[in-house]
């Protein structure tokens, strides 16, 4: 009798052990998302209140000029960041795929920025791009006395400095993913094409790159995901300034939540970010999971 | 990574090929310079005196090497009103990262093991839900998390940050271990079950010892993520409990007094050194973590 009970417990032990773990971690994600969504439908200001108040916070959000600046910056930044990182990534991956003996060392150099915090990256690029002492000064010392490079403090161009630093940090990552993809293309097909007289250019454009389509998709999604979440880099490099010229949704949300104490608007902006990420990630995860099961 | 074996087939020889080869190495070298350039600027600026920074070019090597900026960044630079340098915050980061990495790795291993070797109904759904948790923009949990930490009495403390990093690290660690265990044959586990070994017995005595590679990848990934985190640190800690990334940002963006660029750069290197060291020592595992983080399922 006792052993039977012990057996029954033993059989259910896995579930007994892991279900609180799953319950807690799912609660911290989905329970909290629900809380934030709920707050975005209330009148919450400095303190959260829980009475339903309709779409008022969303109306306020979409009537805030600063939100439009953040959205425009997100589009400009992610477009350039993704395009340049990918172009650089695929280019470097193809260069590295030419049977380079010191490939390991070079790859290490291309990829190390990925190990750094965006705060460190922001700090060093802020110094390099500093109009008084950085690139601008060097160029002037070299005799180009009219050379100006003040993007960091120029509201119209500051967003591009974030692109510069972001690409420096993440292009190596894109390179590593593309390189892994290149290595997984079937050698036999390439050899066959080469025997048929296809030159390297034809081999890449005709066979290798088309075979990499899924890798392209992964890289776009990973970079887009990085771009939407970008917060640290903006804070470290420009602090969202000059003014709020380089605000992004992530810094916007932070400012409204912790500096201006407008919880409702902050929650509404967070929900907009979540919706954007969902639109990109959910179809991707769905296809990946389905692909794995097949 | 496997080198492609197409010797003598794809690659032509002759002067044209040599010229191409030279071009190839020139390009590769230029890009090495591009990626190394900020590191060089950081190190060289941190070793200069302020006077030399103002006069000379930021590209030049230091004329006289001085470690003053390093000493100041570590021990006496002002972070807000407190002037003890980065040292206390560096300690905070260690106190935060070590337990959070170990906890999230161990629990992730347990999750992955339960999801693959003791498959129960709904395991796929739970995994899909957890996987999505790895991708949410954390802005969407900041407000409720801040309140929850307040309720738990953990607001503004290092243990609070450990909790946050463990909880939100679980999605990734579970993913890593699930993908690893799926490749491990069920035979050994089933044989142990027949022999009467229990859930934990199998986990600690059989599964955990054989998952060393997955543990290394996960620990490195988690350490890099948690050490480099800024969002949680700046949202949930104040002053004395700040992790080093937040302290670095405060040092750099302090608007009072003379701007000490050499101290800023030394501080940036100090904050970046632990993850950089991990990368140099265990780069291969780091790369594996990156690609595991990229290709799911």
What does the H/E/C string look like for A101-142? Answer: CCHHHHHHHHHHHHHCCHHHHHHHHHHHCCCCCCHHHHHHHC
Nearest chain A residue to B198, by CA:
A10
Task: With respect to residue A9, please indicate whether it lies within any of the assigned structural domains.
Answer: no
Judge: B59–A138 Cβ closer than 8 Å, yes or no. Answer: yes
Using left for φ > 0, alpha for ψ between -120 and 50, and beta otherwise, residue B8 falls in left
Is B295's pLDDT higher than 50?
A: no
Residues of chain B with CATH 1.10.3720.10: 87-294
pLDDT digits (tens, 9 = 90+) for A193-217: 878 877 777 888 888 888 888 888 8
Judge: B252–A236 Cβ closer than 8 Å, yes or no. Answer: yes
Task: With respect to residue A83, please indicate whether it lies within any of the assigned structural domains.
Answer: yes
Query: ipTM, 2 decimals?
Result: 0.86
CB pairs under 8 A between A and B: 287
Which residues of chain B neighbour A179 with C-beta distances below 8 Å? 1
Angle between helices B15-46 and B261-281 (to 10 degrees): 130
pLDDT confidence of residue A120 = 93
Q: Where are the alpha helices (DSSP H) in chain A?
A: 2-26, 32-40, 56-61, 65-96, 103-111, 118-128, 135-141, 158-183, 187-195, 200-202, 209-211, 213-229, 232-237, 249-254, 263-293
The residue of A124, A179, A258, A290 whose CB has the most chain B CBs within 10 angstroms, and thus the best one to mutate to test that interface, is A124
Q: Closest CB to B199: pick one of A14, A225, A274.
A: A14
Which residues of chain A neighbour B238 with C-beta distances below 8 Å? none
Is B7's pLDDT higher than 70?
A: no
Judge: A194–B3 Cβ closer than 8 Å, yes or no. Answer: no
Count of C-beta atoms within a 10 Å radius of residue B1: 16
Nearest chain A residue to B60, by CA:
A138
Nearest chain B residue to A138, by CA:
B57
Contacts 24+ apart (CB under 8 A), A254-261: A254/B139, A254/B142, A254/B231, A254/B234, A254/B235, A257/B142, A257/B143, A258/B235, A261/A45, A261/A46
Instruction: Find the mean pLDDT for residues B175-192.
Output: 84
pLDDT confidence of residue A113 = 92
Nearest chain A residue to B197, by CA:
A10
Which residues of chain B neighbour A257 with C-beta distances below 8 Å? 142-143
Q: Which domain holds residue A191?
A: 66-293
Nearest chain A residue to B164, by CA:
A28
pLDDT digits (tens, 9 = 90+) for B190-246: 888 888 777 888 888 888 888 888 898 899 889 999 999 999 999 998 888 899 999
Which residues of chain A neighbour B129 with C-beta distances below 8 Å? 26, 29-30
Nearest chain B residue to A239, by CA:
B253
Q: Are A239 and A35 in contact (CB under 8 A)?
A: no
Which residues of chain A neighbour B107 with C-beta distances below 8 Å? 21
- The count of domains in chain A is 1
pLDDT digits (tens, 9 = 90+) for B104-121: 999 999 988 888 887 777
Task: With respect to residue A115, please indicate whether it lies within any of the assigned structural domains.
Answer: yes
Kindly report the CATH class assigned to B87-294: mainly alpha
Q: Which tokens is A49 given?
A: 């209140």
Is B167's pLDDT higher than 60?
A: yes
Instruction: Look over chain B and give the mean of its residue pLDDT values, rounded to a whole number.
Output: 84
The residue of B32, B140, B232 whose CB has the most chain A CBs within 10 angstroms, and thus the best one to mutate to test that interface, is B140
Which residue, chain included where needed, has tokens 């670095």?
B248
Q: Closest CB to A21: pick one of B53, B111, B283.
A: B111
pLDDT digits (tens, 9 = 90+) for B247-258: 999 888 876 667
What is the distance between the alpha carbons of residues B232 and B145, in angstroms, rounded to a whole number? 10
Instruction: Find the mean pLDDT for residues A114-123.
Output: 91
Instruction: Look over chain A and give the mean of its residue pLDDT values, rounded to a whole number.
Output: 85
Instruction: Find the mean pLDDT for residues B139-159.
Output: 90
Chain A closest CA to B141's CA: distance in Å? 5
Nearest chain A residue to B52, by CA:
A133
Q: Which tokens is B285 given?
A: 């595992």
The residue of B12, B44, B137, B236 whose CB has the most chain A CBs within 10 angstroms, and thus the best one to mutate to test that interface, is B137
Q: Give CA angle at B223 (A288, B213), nearest 5°.
A: 65
DSSP B10: T
Instruction: Find the mean pLDDT for residues B26-54.
Output: 89
> Quick one: pLDDT band at residue B13, thresholds 50, 70, 90?
low
For A50-54, B12-16, B97-101, which range has the lowest pLDDT when averaged over its residues? B12-16
Is B297's pLDDT higher than 70?
A: no
Which residues of chain B neighbour A95 with C-beta distances below 8 Å? 24, 27-28, 31
pLDDT confidence of residue A85 = 95
pLDDT digits (tens, 9 = 90+) for A239-287: 877 888 889 999 999 999 888 888 888 999 999 999 988 888 888 878 7
Task: With respect to residue A161, please indicate whether it lies within any of the assigned structural domains.
Answer: yes
Which residues of chain B neighbour A107 with C-beta distances below 8 Å? 287
Write down the pTM of the prediction.
0.88
Is B120's Cβ below 8 Å from some Cβ in A? yes
Chain A closest CA to B47's CA: distance in Å? 14
What is the distance between the alpha carbons of residues A121 and B248, in angstroms, rounded to a whole number? 11
Which residues of chain B neighbour A40 with C-beta distances below 8 Å? none
What is the distance between the alpha carbons of residues B168 and A49, in angstroms, rounded to a whole number? 26
Which residues of chain B neighbour A239 with C-beta distances below 8 Å? 253
DSSP A52: B
Is A57's pLDDT higher than 90?
A: no
Which residue, chain included where needed, has tokens 């080198």?
B3
Give the CATH number, domain containing residue A169: 1.10.3720.10
Is B11's Cβ below 8 Å from some Cβ in A? yes
> Quick one: pLDDT band at residue B30, thresholds 50, 70, 90?
very high
Judge: A282–B132 Cβ closer than 8 Å, yes or no. Answer: yes
pLDDT digits (tens, 9 = 90+) for A162-172: 999 999 999 99
> Quick one: pLDDT band at residue A32, thresholds 50, 70, 90?
very high
Q: What is the DSSP string of B124-160?
A: HHHHHHHHHHTTS-THHHHHHHHHHHHHTT-TTSHHH
What is the distance between the alpha carbons of residues A186 and A182, in angstroms, rounded to a whole number? 9
């Amino acid at each position: 009798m006792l052993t039977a009970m012990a057996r029954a417990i033993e059989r259910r032990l896995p579930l007994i052990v892991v279900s609180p773990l799953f319950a807690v971690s799912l609660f911290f994600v989905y329970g909290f998302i629900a809380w934030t969504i709920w707050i975005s439908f209330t009148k919450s200001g400095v303190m959260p209140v829980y009475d339903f108040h309709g779409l008022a916070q969303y109306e306020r959000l979409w009537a805030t000029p600063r939100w439009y600046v953040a959205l425009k910056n997100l589009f400009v930044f992610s477009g350039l960041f993704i395009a340049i990182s990918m172009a650089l990534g695929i280019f470097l991956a193809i260069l590295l795929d030419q049977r380079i003996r010191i490939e390991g060392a070079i790859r290490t150099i291309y990829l190390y920025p990925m190990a750094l915090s965006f705060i460190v990256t922001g700090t060093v690029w802020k110094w390099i791009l500093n109009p008084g002492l950085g690139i601008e000064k060097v160029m002037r010392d070299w005799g180009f006395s009219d050379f100006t490079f003040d993007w960091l403090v120029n509201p119209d161009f500051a967003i591009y400095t974030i692109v510069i630093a972001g690409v420096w940090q993440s292009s190596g990552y894109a390179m590593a993913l593309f390189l892994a993809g290149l290595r997984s293309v079937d050698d036999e097909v390439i050899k066959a094409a080469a025997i048929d007289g296809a030159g390297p250019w034809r081999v890449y454009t005709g066979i290798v790159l088309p075979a990499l389509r899924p890798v392209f998709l992964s890289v776009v999604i990973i970079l887009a995901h990085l771009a939407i979440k970008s917060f640290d880099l903006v804070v470290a490099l420009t602090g969202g300034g000059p003014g709020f010229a380089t605000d992004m949704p992530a810094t916007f949300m932070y400012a409204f939540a912790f500096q201006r104490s407008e919880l409702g608007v902050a929650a509404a902006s967070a929900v907009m970010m979540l919706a954007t990420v969902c639109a990109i990630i959910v179809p991707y995860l769905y296809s990946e999971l389905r692909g794995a099961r097949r | 990574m496997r080198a492609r074996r197409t010797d003598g087939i794809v690659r032509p020889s002759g002067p044209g090929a040599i010229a191409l080869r030279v071009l190839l190495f020139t390009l590769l070298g230029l890009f090495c310079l591009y990626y190394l350039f900020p590191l060089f600027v950081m190190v060289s600026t941190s070793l200069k005196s302020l006077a030399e920074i103002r006069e000379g070019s930021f590209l030049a090597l230091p004329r006289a090497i001085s470690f003053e900026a390093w000493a100041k960044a570590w021990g006496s630079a002002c972070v807000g009103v407190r002037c003890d340098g980065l040292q206390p915050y560096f300690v905070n980061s260690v106190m935060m990262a070590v337990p959070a990495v170990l906890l999230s790795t161990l629990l992730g291993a347990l999750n992955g093991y339960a999801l693959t070797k003791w498959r129960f109904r709904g395991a796929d759904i739970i995994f899909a839900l957890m996987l999505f948790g790895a991708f949410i923009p954390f802005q969407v949990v900041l407000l409720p998390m801040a309140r929850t930490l307040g309720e738990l009495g953990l607001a503004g403390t290092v243990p609070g940050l450990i909790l946050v990093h463990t909880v939100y690290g679980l999605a990734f660690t579970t993913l890593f271990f699930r993908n690893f265990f799926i490749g491990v044959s069920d035979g050994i586990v089933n044989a142990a079950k027949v022999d009467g070994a229990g859930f934990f017995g199998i986990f600690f005595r059989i599964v955990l010892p054989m998952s060393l590679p997955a543990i290394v990848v996960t620990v490195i990934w988690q350490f890099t993520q948690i050490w480099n985190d800024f969002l949680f640190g700046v949202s949930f800690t104040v002053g004395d409990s700040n992790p080093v990334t937040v302290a670095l940002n405060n040092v750099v963006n302090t608007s009072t007094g003379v701007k000490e660029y050499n101290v800023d750069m030394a501080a940036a290197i100090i904050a970046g050194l632990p993850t950089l060291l991990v990368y140099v020592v265990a780069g291969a595992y780091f790369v594996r973590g990156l690609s595991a983080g990229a290709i799911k399922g």
